Amino acid sequence: MKLYWRTIAVYICVQLLLTGCIATPTEKTSRAEQEQNMPPNILLILSDDHAWNDYSFMGHDIVQTPSLDRLAQSGVTFTKGYVPTSLCRPSLATIATGLYASQHGITGNDPSRKLPGGKKGEEYRKQRAEIIAKIDTVQTLPELLKEKGYVSLQTGKWWEGSFQRGGFDEGMTQGFPNEGGRHGDEGLKIGRQGVDTITEFIDRTHDAEKPFFVWYAPFMPHSPHTPPERILSKYEKYDLPESIAKYYAMVEWFDETNGQLFDHLEKRGLKDNTLIVYVSDNGWITNPKQTDRFLPKSKQSPNESGVRTPIIYSLPTQFKSEFRQERVSSIDIVPTILGVAGVDVPESLPGLNLYDNLRVGKQIEREAIFGEGFAHDMDGIDDVESTLLYRWVIKDDWKLIVSYDGKNVSYQKYHDELLVGPRLYNLANDENEQVDLAEQYPNKVDMLMREIESWYPLKERNVIN
pLDDT-derived band at 339, boundaries 50, 70, 90: very high
Q: 86, 373 in Cβ contact below 8 A?
A: yes
3-state secondary structure at position 328: strand
Answer whether 129's CB lies under 8 Å from 182's CB. Answer: no
Q: With 70 as the cut, is the pLDDT of residue 295 above it? A: yes
Inter-residue contact 293 to 227 (CB < 8 Å): no
Give the tens place of pLDDT for each residue, 116-172: 999 999 999 999 999 999 999 999 999 999 999 999 999 999 999 999 999 999 999
Whether residue 158 contacts residue 175, with contact meaning beta carbons closer than 8 Å, is answered with yes
Q: How far is CA 301 from CA 282, 338, 392, 464, in A?
A: 9, 30, 11, 16
Mean pLDDT (whole number) for 414-438: 97
pLDDT number for residue 8? 44
Cis omega (within 30 of 0) on the bond before 211? Answer: no
Alpha carbons within 13 A on the beta-carbon side of 187: 30
Q: Which amino acid is at 403?
A: S
pLDDT tens digits, one per residue of 1-32: 433 444 444 444 434 444 444 445 554 444 45
Are 59 and 53 in contact by the 8 Å Cβ rule? The answer is yes
Q: Is 351 helix (H, G, I), strand (E, B) or coil?
A: coil
Q: What angle do CA 137, 146, 331 make, to 5 degrees?
A: 55
Q: What per-residue confidence (pLDDT) applies to 410? A: 95
The phi-psi region of residue 87 (left if phi > 0; otherwise alpha if psi is between -120 and 50; otherwise beta) is beta
- Contacts of 293 by beta carbon, 8 Å cutoff, 6+ apart: 223, 243, 286, 287
Distance CA 284, CA 286 (A): 6
As a whole number of angstroms, the distance between CA 308 and CA 310 comes to 7
d(CA 358, CA 78): 11
**Residues 336/354, Cβ–Cβ less than 8 Å:** yes
pLDDT value of residue 37? 74
Using CA atoms, how far residue 72 sits from 79, 192, 216, 403, in Å, is 10, 23, 17, 35
Q: What is the dihedral of CA 367, 369, 370, 371, to 10 degrees?
A: 180
Reported as a pLDDT band with limits 50, 70 and 90, residue 33 is low
Rounded mean pLDDT of 289-300? 96
pTM passes above 0.85: yes
Mean pLDDT of the region 64-69:
98
